[in-house]
Structure 1
């Protein structure tokens, strides 16, 4: 449906347009699966399952692990992503002495469908997937997240996930702002958007204001964080990353140019900076010994 079609439908049937917008907003894209290098990466992993409980039957999250020693780094993909997209980053992290864990969020990749079926999910379920993986494969030293995975990470931190470091790549700052941008592109007015927001809050179990990532950094302790965002990112504006870096105490901002929203994951300088940031946190005074104690307790 084009912009004019959405506008006409809004005039005739605003409740139906609100439901259609809700369905479109919470439908993850199902693009291409892992490429050859990504599939090879997953084939080399130790694969098992983490469980997400609540909202009915338990649901399985596919978990992949590489490496046997060192602090554990958890990789969280974005909306419509999958664990194999981290192929450029796994080897550098292993070379830096880290264990690496990645997962497919519910309704993504090889994981089970979420509570509303394979065609609908949310950042809340992505955060539950992250927390389930962290509990299953922990203790977790750091998380590197891309796009909406960064918002899922922020929700997990608000829920009590303790980390020594975090890296957010192309993170969205606020769900309402992003949804408003979609509504504007479609020609949908604020009244229908507000109706869609109220409808979704009933099953999300929380208000949309809870998804404001900068506000989380102002409200509770957050880990040392590196935010990486490209100035030409057309999917998530660079201003979002800058807002998060400005609000999270002590956060650092790395701005890139010309890498967009996805190619940034393959850039050698981005990878080096992310690994260096995580490695530096792992080798902070006293932290290495604390990490070893945590791992010994987990293995006992």
Structure 2
């Protein structure tokens, strides 16, 4: 199956070529396992946004596993985590305000993203589990997190890493998906394969993750927990990639959570909005 921009952003909303949809529907009737296998490969292939603007004054570093990042300033550490197909420069607007407020800022590219090397799945492939593991690896290398700020699927990775035991004083989740695996429903509809094949895809995803997929459902994991750090959820009602209601669902069950909802900023421009950045810095 050919690769398409609809393979995954966070929610699949991009248009898929009709020829691809027809091909998938035909294969789905005669070879559903083949469709599921190729769908998993597409699901695990991030779109590759090239690293953008460079933020002056940072110190570049590279870990032994190939993870590349930069550090700015001194003080309590704030980690910035980009989303699927992203790179560290997408959160550049937070660097100067945070360092001016007395924080040390640490940002990096996840495996198979930006300048970092490939992860366990090889070149140009990654997974939510790898995004989660990268957070733990970077924090272990650089020191205790005063806070972690994550965007999109990176925000889900932050929440799940903390639910798995990563320590942080505060969290900020920008445009987080509450149950990332549920987005396979839109993925299946966009490509044109059946619910039965989606089930086969989920089975393959569970084998790849080495854990039950229910473990990746943030509200269910957070409900009833009293040991989680304070949380600020930031979302925009015009977001076309992540349902803004997902952030509210997370906040409803998180023991100490606030929600900041904006209008008209969408999925990525929210990262550059001065009022949003100021609100996050003030929260931290």
* Residue aligned with 2:203, SS: helix
Number of the residue aligned with 2:248: 242
Number of the residue aligned with 2:267: 261
CA RMSD of aligned residues (A): 1.3
Number of the residue aligned with 1:45: 58
1:5 shift after superposition: 2.4
Gap change, CA 1:30 and 1:161, over 3 Å in 2: same
Correspondent of 1:157 among 151, 159, 162: 162
1:33-87 Cα distance to aligned partner (Å, 9 max, x none)? 31xxx22x1x531111234xxxxxxx2211210002x211000010011111111
Query: Does residue 25 in structure 1 map to residue 34 in structure 2?
Result: no
Unaligned runs of 5+ in 2: 1-18
TM-score by length of 2: 0.90
Correspondent of 1:189 among 179, 185, 194: 194
1:269-295 Cα distance to aligned partner (Å, 9 max, x none)? 1101100001xxxxxxxxxxxxxxxxx
* Residue aligned with 1:276, SS: helix
* Residue aligned with 1:44, SS: coil
Q: Which runs of 4 or more aligned residues in structure 1 lie more than 2 Å from their structure 2 counterparts after TM superposition?
A: 1-5
CA contact (8 A) 1:154 1:216 kept: no
* Residue aligned with 1:75, SS: strand
1:151-300 alignment runs, 5 A limit: 151-218=156-223, 220=225, 221-278=227-284
TM-score by length of 1: 0.85
1:219 shift after superposition: 5.1
* Residue aligned with 1:130, SS: helix
Q: How far apart, CA to CA, are the structure 2 residues paired with 1:134 and 1:20?
A: 34
Q: How far apart, CA to CA, are the structure 2 residues paired with 1:44 and 1:82?
A: 18
Correspondent of 1:105 among 98, 102, 110: 110
Between the two proteins, the alignment pairs up a number of residues equal to 265
Structure having the higher helix fraction is: 1
Unaligned runs of 5+ in 1: 52-58, 279-300
Query: Does residue 87 in structure 1 map to residue 87 in structure 2?
Result: no
